[in-house]
Homo-oligomer: A and B are copies of this chain.
């Protein structure tokens, strides 16, 4: 029996959850889960329909993209996952979707403004949209460089990946992460919900103001202050 059985199971369940939440059409999405002790991660294979997917189909790779176990081809976004696991050693799972409203904001190349408390209950910053990749990076190792693009974006916007567990890749779509694969999937759903709320808000009132600073601070403290009481 595989020593990665539990990791594959976690990864499989998170991928099935992504589908159950209505975040994917066909196979346009993938989730991975990491085992920090073994220095490997499990990821969905490429192109297998969700109804045929089985836990043992998950592919095990190390952080340099070497396949450790598995006979199927790993997701075409695998190198992006590997890059994030290698550079952010405190995340436990990553999810990627082409969900409608997240993609529409990514194609709009705009950060999602923090318009309300649904957003502020999860993060107290605008959801960042990384600008399209430079032509030089595009010519290179594309999916690996998507990882670079994400880290560059967080550096330039001075964001912490512990506080902001989601990003939009301009022209592409969202990546989300968290302490485990289930949390990464949860964040993909939250992002999609917040993206749709912000979209409708702007249609109703193109001049809708961002949440005011006192409310942003309050929500940050509800979660992080010494008397924090929310979301625990």
Residues of A in contact with B (beta carbons under 8 Å apart): 25-26, 28, 47, 76, 98, 100-101, 103-110, 115-118, 132-133, 135, 138-139, 142, 171-173, 186, 189-190, 193, 196-205, 208-209, 211-212, 214-215, 218, 222, 229-231
Q: Are B107 and A201 in contact (CB under 8 A)?
A: yes
Residue of A26, A116, A230 ringed by the most chain B CB atoms within 10 A: A116
Q: Are the C-beta atoms of B115 and A76 separated by less than 8 Å?
A: no
Q: Is the CB of B107 within 8 A of A215?
A: no
A108 B138 Cβ-Cβ under 8 A: no
Shortest distance from the beta carbon of A124 to any chain B beta carbon, whole Å: 13
Contacts of A203 in B (CB 8 A): 104, 199, 202-203
Number of identical protomers: 4
Complex Cα gap A104–B119 (Å): 12
Contact partner of A197 (CB less than 8 A), chosen from B107, B109, B205, is B107
CB pair A98–B118 under 8 Å, yes or no, is yes
Distance (Å) between the CB of A83 and the closest chain B CB? 17
> Complex formed: what's the CA distance from A204 to B108 in Å?
7
Instruction: Please name 8 further chain A to chain B contacts, defined as beta carbons within 8 Å, in addition to the given A76-B229, A171-B211, A203-B203, sorted by A numbering.
Output: A26-B186, A100-B197, A104-B197, A104-B204, A108-B204, A116-B172, A132-B212, A138-B215
